Amino acid sequence: MTKINGYTARDRAWHPPALTPLYKTSVARSPRFAPLGFATSLSEETGPVFGHDILGPRDNDLIHNFTGESAIGPRIIVQGRVIDEVGRPMPHTLVEVWQANAGGRYRHKKEGYLAPLDPNFGGCGRCITDENGFYEFRTVKPGPYPWPNGADDWRPAHIHFSVFGHSFAQRLISQLYFEGDPMIWQCPIVGTIPTREGIESLVAKLDRQNSVPMDALCYQFDIVLRGRRQTMFENRMEGL
């Protein structure tokens, strides 16, 4: 790590280039001109502020938080810590997740996959890390799904997540994959990540010790904001 005045310099080689034509959407989305800098406004730097009072009792239980009845699919727990580059926990951090159901279908009006909706699964959840940076969700394992990119491309099972710091300007977004899934290595979006180490930073590890017998398998997934062990974020290549 390069240190400048005691701070770790950002590693801009960690993230995929903006233009990666095998991921077709990147062609239209990537900038054609050099970036322009804008000063952030006060509201972008100071808000919004989230507290535990915004959370409902089922916000981190995607199995039940849509209708109260159980969603269909393999029940899992996803847990871990949000930490900085030297392993310090990040307390009071809003972690939001969204995902397809167990059949690989999103509850979204533009969804084009023929797999059925689950009437008891909405696909969204959130929680706030505790004083040790710990977070936890209960959900069903999402299914893989086909998407219109190449002739027959499939997304591996994944959970989208967002980490909110102290303001809008600090929001980070990425995706979590599951250990042992062969589809990870065939995905054109995953394939834009330059290093195997970067890809593996997005793979949650099966954790049998924290699994609940006859209920749910557990996956461990730490979110690292910067440094050599940083999670690969989609919207900000260097983390925070």
185's tokens: 């290595």
Q: Do 195 and 161 meet the contact criterion of CB atoms below 8 Å apart? A: no
Catalytic choice (58, 92, 160, 229): 160
What string of H, E and C letters represents the secondary structure of 204-223?
Answer: EEEEEEEEECCCEEEEECCE
DSSP 8-state assignment for residue 202: T
115's tokens: 């797999």
- Neighbouring-strand partners of residue 153: 147
Distance, CA of 91 to CA of 133 (rounded, Å): 4
- Nearest to residue 238, comparing CAs of 223, 221, 226? 226
Residue 64 a catalytic site member: no
Catalytic choice (23, 155, 219, 226): 155
Residue 106 a catalytic site member: yes
Residue 145 a catalytic site member: yes
Q: What is each CA distance from 187 to 20, 94, 101, 129, 145, in whole angstroms?
A: 13, 28, 19, 30, 11
Catalytic choice (23, 135, 145, 219): 145
Q: How many CA atoms lie within 13 A of 26 on its CB side?
A: 16
Residue 219 a catalytic site member: no
Catalytic choice (158, 177, 219, 226): 158
Catalytic choice (23, 106, 135, 177): 106
Residue 15 a catalytic site member: no
Residues marked active site are found at: 106, 145, 155, 158, 160
